[in-house]
């Protein structure tokens, strides 16, 4: 199973981080970033399969692709903001991490406005 590959790689990275933690802090940050990026790249084909599935289901359910694309963008922003925030926290930059999280939330809210408006219009039509 693929999770064992990811966990093994993460443990190797963790061992390297713990080994260099007291002597070379610059290497620790680089190992953390590289490990995170490699795990993310390893998961790209799974992410792509999920997007293809969602698009197929949206076509079958006659859902407007604009809404699906917006939801996919929102999910992407959430994951990327979380990923970046965790890297910033690993590097000891907690204030930057909180700014990234805040920015991600604002971008998600901005992208959600058309969906919220469509839901409100649907509710008003029902009433």
Q: Give a yes or no: residue 57 inside a domain.
A: no
Q: Give a yes or no: residue 43 inside a domain.
A: no
Q: Give a yes or no: residue 72 inside a domain.
A: yes
The pTM is what? 0.70
Q: Give a yes or no: residue 34 inside a domain.
A: no
Q: Give a yes or no: residue 118 inside a domain.
A: yes
Q: Give a yes or no: residue 125 inside a domain.
A: yes
State the total domains in the chain: 1
Task: For residue 40, give both structure tokens.
Answer: 């993310």
36-50 burial by CB neighbour count: b if 16+ within 10 A, else e? beebeeeeeeeeeee
Confidence of residue 83 (pLDDT cuts 50, 70, 90): confident
Is pLDDT of 59 > 80? yes
Q: Which domain holds residue 111?
A: 62-127
pLDDT at site 77: 92
**Residue 77: how many other CB atoms lie within 10 Å:** 18
**What tens digit of pLDDT does each residue of 10-55 get?**
899 888 888 888 887 778 888 888 888 898 889 888 888 988 888 8
pLDDT at site 33: 83
DSSP tag of 92: T
DSSP tag of 93: -
Q: Give a yes or no: residue 96 inside a domain.
A: yes
Q: Give a yes or no: residue 40 inside a domain.
A: no
């Amino acid at each position: 199973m693929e999770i064992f590959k990811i966990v093994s790689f993460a443990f190797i990275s963790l061992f390297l981080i713990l080994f260099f933690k007291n002597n070379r802090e610059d290497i620790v940050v680089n190992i953390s970033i590289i490990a995170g990026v490699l795990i993310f790249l390893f998961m790209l084909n799974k992410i792509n399969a999920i997007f293809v599935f969602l698009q197929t289901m949206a076509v079958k359910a006659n859902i407007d692709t604009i809404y699906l694309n917006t939801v996919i963008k929102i999910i992407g922003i959430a994951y990327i903001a979380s990923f970046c925030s965790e890297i910033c926290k690993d590097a000891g930059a907690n204030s930057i991490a909180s700014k990234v999280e805040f920015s991600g939330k604002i971008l998600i809210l901005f992208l959600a406005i058309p969906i919220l408006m469509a839901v409100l219009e649907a509710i008003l039509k029902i009433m």
